[in-house]
Structure 1
Amino acid sequence: KPIPKESDVKTFNYTAHLWDIRWLRHRARK
């Protein structure tokens, strides 16, 4: 497996964080 560059990891974590916030907001609305 190729080792992901640190910038790729940061981008992935940032995207996952945004999705998590969207999901939490969606759940909180109900």
Structure 2
Amino acid sequence: MNGLLMWGLVLPVLLVVAGVLVWLRKRNGPR
């Protein structure tokens, strides 16, 4: 498996996970 291909698959997943975490934090509201 090519390293570049692996990053092409992993990077979008990391971006989605980061977006979900930010969304959950905003939804919970500031503490």
- Cα distance in 2 for residues equivalent to 1:24 and 1:9: 23
User: Following TM superposition, where does structure 1 have runs of at least 4 consecutive aligned residues deviating by more than 6 angstroms?
Assistant: none
Give the corresponding residue for 1:28: 28
Count of residue correspondences:
26
> Which amino acid counterpart does residue 8 of structure 2 have in structure 1?
D
What TM-score comes out, normalization by structure 1 length?
0.71
Please list, as runs of the form range in 1=range in 2, the aligned pairs for 1:1-30 lying within 5 A after superposition: 5-29=5-29
Q: Structure 2: which 5+ residue stretches go unaligned?
A: none
Q: Structure 1: which 5+ residue stretches go unaligned?
A: none
1:6 offset after TM fit, Å? Answer: 2.7
Query: What percentage of aligned pairs have identical amino acids?
Result: 15
